[in-house]
């Protein structure tokens, strides 16, 4: 199963590279075929093999020899690693039926995070369709697990985190974009499906990661106090971190800090 998921991650990662490159520009994902952005020669089939294709080319176009960004194989590798890690975690949580939803969320999150870092926005073309897709996948998971309460938690979590981000954006519009608000509903639903503690830690982790990174950037002189920050990557990173350690963090806090 792990091998299958790893290979699936590499293939999906290769597709995510297309999504990341084309969706912000409003281009079709299928036409034209993959090609070099410099010389426009089509990418040969053997060079489309995830990770191995870039290595075989030694990071350069087969025709014009222009440098190919290492981000392409890194996205493929990251997707495969996260797919495997999420699979192991979901099996550990005994929520195997939720695996398709969690893998979709992971893939969606990677694409949105990279796009947000690139262009500073979270495209509706990815965010909006993710609502019905994840709603369907989580519904099927709840039915398979015979756990309707999980679906109810997902709905509550989606609405709660969406409203929380909406209020933040309304109170501080220069610091929170509406793209983050729209993404919050997805993050809240996915995390709450697992548990409320995972949702709580995921919501906090996003701001904690953003704060730490922002302070580090300011200290290094690469940004000022009023600089805008792409917050989508921190929302996704916080959600994935919480998926792995959220329950343990809440249990530790309850046991040690509150004496429970």
Q: What is the pLDDT of residues 156-198, one digit of tens each?
A: 999 999 999 999 999 888 778 899 999 999 999 999 999 999 9
pLDDT, residue 62, reads 87
Are 4 and 58 contained in the same domain?
Answer: yes
Give the residue-averaged pLDDT of 23-31.
90
**Residue of 202, 229, 199, 204 lying closest to 214 (CA atoms):** 229
Query: Looking at residue 34, what is its pLDDT?
Result: 85
Q: At what angle do helices 148-171 and 196-219 cross, to 10 degrees?
A: 30
CB 117, CB 230: distance < 8 Å: yes
| 155 and 184 belong to one structural domain | yes
Looking at the structure, tell me whether residues 60 and 104 fall in a common domain. Answer: no
Residue that is last in its domain, among 84, 103, 121: 84
Same domain, 46 and 110: no
Boundary-marking domain end, from 84, 118, 137: 84
Place of tokens 């350069």: 60
Q: Is 228 exposed, middle or buried (0-12, 13-18, 19+ CB in 10 A)?
A: exposed
Question: 107-143 b/e with 16+ CB inside 10 Å = b?
Answer: bbbbbbbbbbeeeebbbeebbeebeebbbebbeebbe
Q: What is the largest CA-CA distance in the chain?
A: 66
Same domain assignment for residues 260 and 226: yes
Average pLDDT, the chain: 90
* The two three-digit tokens of residue 231, written as one number: 């917050």
Q: Which of 67, 84, 101 is the last residue of a domain?
A: 84
| pLDDT tier at 47, thresholds 50, 70, 90 | confident
> Same structural domain for residues 114 and 208?
yes
What domain range is 156 assigned to? Answer: 93-260
Q: Are residues 62 and 102 in the same domain?
A: no
Percent of the chain exceeding pLDDT 90 equals 66
Total domain count for the chain? 2
Do 46 and 170 lie in a common domain? Answer: no
74 and 176 together in one domain: no
226 confidence band (pLDDT: 50, 70, 90): low
């Amino acid at each position: 199963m792990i091998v299958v998921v790893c290979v699936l991650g590499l293939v999906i990662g290769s597709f995510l590279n297309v999504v990341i490159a084309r969706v912000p520009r409003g281009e079709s994902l299928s036409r034209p075929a993959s090609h070099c952005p410099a010389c426009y020669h089509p990418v040969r089939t053997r060079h489309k093999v995830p990770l191995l294709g870039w290595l075989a080319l030694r990071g350069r176009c087969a025709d014009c020899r222009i440098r190919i960004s290492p981000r392409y194989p890194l996205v493929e590798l990251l997707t495969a690693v996260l797919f495997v890690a999420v699979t192991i975690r979901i099996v550990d949580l005994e929520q195997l039926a939720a695996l398709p939803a969690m893998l979709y969320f992971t893939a969606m999150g990677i694409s949105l995070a990279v796009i947000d870092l690139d262009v500073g926005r979270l495209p509706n073309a990815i965010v909006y369709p993710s609502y019905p897709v994840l709603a369907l996948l989580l519904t099927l998971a709840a039915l398979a697990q015979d756990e309707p309460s999980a679906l109810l938690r997902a709905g509550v979590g989606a609405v709660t985190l969406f409203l929380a981000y909406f209020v933040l954006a309304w109170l501080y519009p220069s610091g929170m974009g509406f793209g983050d608000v729209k993404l919050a509903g997805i993050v809240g639903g996915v995390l709450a499906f697992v548990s409320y503690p995972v949702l709580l830690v995921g919501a906090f982790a996003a701001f904690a990661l953003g704060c730490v990174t922002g302070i580090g950037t300011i200290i290094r002189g690469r940004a000022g106090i009023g600089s805008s920050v792409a917050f989508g990557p921190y929302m996704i990173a916080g959600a994935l971190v919480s998926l792995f350690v959220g329950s343990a963090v809440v249990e530790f806090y309850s046991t040690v800090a509150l004496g429970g």
